[in-house]
């Protein structure tokens, strides 16, 4: 069971509005593995996991989840998704407990009311991320890092086998990052599989068994997590990036073929 | 209160209470999605349905349910596409709805202005026993759907992508919301009228969330405020001879103002009580 492939991506291509973002990507994650997808902003790393989760349609290629083609996959309770931030819909206050309880719906279904097993799972998940004392507080009053921990608790509450996280540590304070790493470590120690996207690994680094580096829509490296390079290696580096460099001059190359044709 | 010895007043009161309870139960999801004005738009579309009903000598309520449900599903499909042109498409649909309604009502046999006003601003005391049956059945259905599916609807409105990854039937739940909105608009047409329908869905929620901390408590309190405003609206309007719909909305807005002020006062007092006043040390060296 441990050797079964949990995520299997073969020759995947994805594009929006006619522009291809991922070209011919193949990768797989085995049961119990902790894999990080790394890459610069705009490399296509978030698109890759969003496509694996079915949020972005594929252009070409195949994705299997737990050995089932993604299109036919129905057992979504086995997958716990942790998005980058809390959804935009927050016009009405909601407590931490209410948000985490959403994580039980995949297990319970929409017709069955919440029972004692659901309440227990919510409390356990909040304990795992160290936020049980905030269960009755509105999520809007939490710090960014605590909100992120609420989202991981929501995913853990459904007792998934695979946890998929999109940039979990982006903009998260140090205390929350460590609470985060501890919760993920416990999940992995219990045999869980983790696939996460990150810009930098930070305190999650000791957990990562394998890294996949995405660059310009291709897989550029796969194996041991690469050491941070240059000023990224400084402990005090705060990762403020200017906008990506403009594309090389390909767009403005003179159409020499037409010039000669005239 | 001797007004409630009349049957028509009792019918008016029951109809208002059903809507006062059902409208905020649905409205909370619209507010959570930041779609507070969608009820207003569907109200515009429902007027075309009223026009169709009057023109064909059918019940305007039934044709309004059908037309506004079709409009709501159309709006939901535009929203799912998630394109910026959706905003403009909504505007076209809304103005098409109200203009179509006014023209169709004008073409019908019963084309008096009073008739049009009755649908735009409500006409509670003309509620017939048959109307009341329809309002009660549909109102209870809306209430049941909104409370029974609360966890799933909350999940969809709070984080639609997460709900999709959880394997929830997101599209079906969204269509359920769209159709329920149309039904609520149409039954509330009698009480507050199509131009004020949205207020009954949104204002009680806005008032409740000034003092609540969670989604469930907001929903409960909003329903209590909706019920209170609707009941008081009927009674007050009968006493001082004003339009019941507008009176209900004014009362709900009054509740919003009072609760906001009260909530703000409680928070300030609590903060004062918890934080002892700190005296800043002087910036200069004091010489004795």
Q: What pLDDT digit, counting tens, does each position of B223-274 carry? A: 999 999 999 999 999 899 888 889 999 999 999 999 999 988 888 888 777 6
Closest CB to A102 among B33, B34, B155: B155
- Mean pLDDT to the nearest integer, A240-253: 44
In percent, the amount of chain B with pLDDT more than 90 equals 48
Distance in angstroms (rounded) separating the CA atoms of residues B126 and A148: 54
**Cβ within 8 Å, pair A94-B167:** no
Q: Check residue A256 and give its pLDDT.
A: 41
User: Which pLDDT value is given to residue A88?
Assistant: 55
Cβ separation of A93 and B214 shorter than 8 Å?
Answer: yes
Instruction: Find all residues with CB under 8 Å of A118, minimum gap 6, and list them.
Output: A101, A104, A108
Distance from CA of A205 to the nearest CA of B (A): 26
Count of other CB atoms within 10 angstroms of residue B87: 9
Structure tokens at A4: 């079964």
How far apart, in whole angstroms, are the C-alpha atoms of residue A86 and residue A118?
21
- A98 interfaces chain B, CB cutoff of 8 Å: yes
| Chain B closest-CA separation from residue A191 CA (Å) | 21
Asked if pLDDT for residue A205 goes beyond 70, the answer is yes
Number of A–B residue contacts, CB under 8 Å: 103
CA distance between the termini of chain A: 66
> Can you tell me whether residue A39 is helix, strand or coil?
coil
Give which of B255, B258, B134 is closest to B187, Cα–Cα: B134
**Least Cα separation, residue B66 to chain A (angstroms):** 27
Q: Distance between CA atoms of A157 and A129, rounded to whole angstroms?
A: 11
Instruction: Give every CB contact of residue B146 below 8 A, 6+ residues apart in sequence.
Output: B22, B25, B26, B29, B153, B180
Percent residues over pLDDT 90 in chain A: 48
Q: Closest-CA residue in chain B for A109?
A: B168
Predicted pLDDT at A192: 93
In this predicted structure, which of A128-142, B97-111, B196-210 has the lowest mean pLDDT? B97-111
> Is the pLDDT reported for residue A245 higher than 50?
no
Residue A153's region, left for phi above 0, alpha for psi from -120 to 50, else beta, is alpha
Answer with the residue of higher pLDDT: A28 or B285: A28
Q: How confident is the model at residue A257 (pLDDT cuts 50, 70, 90)?
A: very low
Give residue A216's Cα distance to chain centre: 18
Nearest CA in chain B to A93: B214
The residue assigned the tokens 């990854």 is B165
Interface of B with A in 61-120 (CB under 8 A): none
Q: Is the dihedral of CA B94, B125, B228, B224 positive or negative?
A: negative
Alpha-carbon distances of B218 from A98, A155, B32, B209, rounded to whole Å: 12, 25, 11, 6
Residue of A nearest to B207 (CA): A92
Domain ranges of chain A: 5-261
Angstroms from B90 CA to nearest CA on chain A:
20
User: Is the model's pLDDT at A241 over the cut of 50?
Assistant: no
Query: Do B161 and A55 lie within an 8 Å CB cutoff?
Result: yes
From CA A3, how far away is CA A219, in angstroms rounded? 23
Closest CA to A198 of A185, A207, A189: A207
Instruction: Give chain A's largest Cα–Cα span.
Output: 79
DSSP at A95: B
Measured CA to CA, the distance from residue A103 to residue A70 in angstroms comes to 20
Is residue A125 within 8 Å of residue A153, measured between CB atoms? yes
Asked whether residue B126 carries a pLDDT value surpassing 70, the answer given is: yes
Of A103, A96, A108, which Cα lies nearest the Cα of A132? A96
pLDDT exceeds 70 at position B288 = no
Identify the pLDDT of residue B109.
Answer: 79
For residue A230, pLDDT beyond 70: no
Dig out the tokens for A104 from the structure: 């039980």
Fold topology of B2-195: ABC transporter involved in vitamin B12 uptake, BtuC (1.10.3470)
CB-based contact (8 Å) between B264 and chain A? no
Question: Which candidate, B34, B79, B155, places its Cα nearest to that of A81?
Answer: B155
- CA gyration radius, chain A: 20
DSSP A122-170: HHHHHHHTT-GGGTTSBGGGS-HHHHHHHHHHHHHHT--SEEEEESTTT
- What local confidence, expressed as pLDDT, does residue B118 receive? 84
Alpha-helix residue ranges (DSSP H) falling in chain B: 7-32, 38-55, 60-81, 85-107, 113-121, 129-148, 150-158, 160-165, 170-188, 197-208, 215-240, 244-274
Interface membership of B173 toward A (CB under 8 Å): yes
Q: CATH homologous superfamily of domain A5-261?
A: P-loop containing nucleotide triphosphate hydrolases (3.40.50.300)
Tokens of B135: 């309002």
Task: Answer yes or no: is pLDDT of A81 > 90.
Answer: yes
In the numeric block, which tokens belong to residue B159?
């984080």
Q: Which of A112, A2, A122, A11 is nearest to A61 (CA)?
A: A11
pLDDT for A134: 94
pLDDT of residue B283: 57
Mean pLDDT, chain B, rounded, equals: 87
Contacts of A137 in chain B (CB under 8 A): 213
What rounded mean pLDDT belongs to chain A? Answer: 83
Of the candidates A103, A105, A136, which has its C-beta nearest B213's C-beta?
Answer: A136
The Cα diameter of chain B in Å comes to 96
Q: Which of B95, B122, B134, B60 is nearest to B249 (CA)?
A: B122
Residue B217 tokens, joined: 């408590």
Quick check: A92 and A175 in contact, CB under 8 A?
no
* Contact call for B214 and A101, based on CB within 8 A: no
Tell me which of B14 and B79 has the higher pLDDT.
Answer: B14
């Amino acid at each position: 069971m441990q050797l079964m492939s949990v995520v299997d991506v073969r020759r995947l291509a994805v594009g929006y509005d006619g522009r291809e973002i991922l070209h011919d990507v193949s990768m797989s994650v085995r049961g119990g593995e902790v894999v990080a997808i790394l890459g610069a902003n705009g490399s296509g790393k978030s698109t890759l996991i969003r496509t694996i989760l079915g949020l972005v349609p594929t252009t070409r290629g195949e994705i299997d989840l737990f050995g089932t083609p993604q299109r036919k996959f129905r057992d979504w309770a086995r997958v716990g998704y942790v998005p980058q931030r809390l959804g935009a819909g927050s016009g009405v206050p909601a407590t931490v407990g209410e948000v985490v309880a959403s994580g039980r719906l995949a297990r319970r279904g929409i017709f069955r009311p919440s029972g004692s097993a659901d309440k227990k799972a919510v409390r356990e998940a909040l304990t795992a991320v160290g936020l049980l004392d905030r269960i009755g507080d509105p999520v809007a009053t939490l710090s960014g890092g605590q909100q992120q921990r609420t989202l991981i608790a929501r995913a853990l509450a459904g007792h998934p086998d695979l946890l998929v996280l999109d940039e979990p540590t982006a903009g998260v304070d140090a205390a929350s990052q460590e609470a985060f790493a501890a919760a993920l470590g416990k999940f992995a120690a219990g045999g869980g599989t983790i696939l996460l996207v990150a810009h930098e690994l930070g305190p999650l680094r000791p957990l990562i068994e394998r890294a996949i580096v995405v660059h310009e829509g291709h897989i550029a490296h796969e194996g041991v997590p690469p050491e941070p390079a240059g000023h990224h290696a400084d402990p005090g580096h705060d990762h403020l990036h200017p906008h990506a460099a403009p594309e090389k001059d390909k767009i403005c190359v003179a159409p020499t073929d037409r010039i000669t044709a005239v | 209160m001797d007004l409630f010895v009349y049957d028509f007043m009792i019918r008016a009161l029951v109809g208002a209470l059903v809507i006062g309870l059902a409208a905020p139960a649905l409205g909370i999801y619209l507010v959570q999605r930041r779609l507070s004005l969608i009820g207003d738009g569907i109200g515009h579309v429902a007027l075309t349905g009223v026009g169709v009903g009057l023109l064909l000598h059918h019940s305007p309520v039934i044709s309004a349910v059908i037309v506004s449900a079709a409009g709501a599903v159309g709006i939901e499909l535009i929203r799912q596409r998630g394109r910026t042109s959706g905003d403009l498409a909504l505007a076209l649909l809304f103005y098409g709805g109200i203009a179509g309604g006014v023209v169709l009502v004008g073409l019908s046999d019963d084309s008096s202005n009073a008739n049009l006003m009755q649908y735009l601003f409500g006409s509670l005391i003309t509620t017939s026993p048959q109307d009341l049956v329809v309002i009660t059945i549909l109102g209870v259905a809306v209430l049941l759907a909104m409370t029974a599916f609360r966890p799933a609807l909350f999940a969809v409105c709070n984080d639609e992508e997460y709900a999709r990854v959880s394997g929830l039937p997101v599209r079906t739940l969204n269509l359920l919301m769209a159709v329920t909105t149309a039904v609520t608009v149409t039954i509330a047409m009698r009480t507050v009228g199509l131009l004020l329908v949205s207020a009954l869905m949104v204002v009680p929620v806005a008032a409740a969330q000034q003092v609540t901390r969670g989604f469930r408590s907001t929903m409960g309190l909003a329903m209590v405020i909706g019920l209170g405003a609707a009941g008081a609206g009927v009674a007050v309007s009968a006493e001082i001879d004003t339009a019941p719909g507008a009176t209900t909305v004014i009362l709900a807005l009054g509740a919003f103002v009072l609760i906001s002020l009260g909530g703000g006062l409680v928070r300030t007092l609590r903060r004062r009580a918890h934080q002892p006043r700190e005296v800043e040390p002087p910036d200069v060296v004091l010489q004795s």
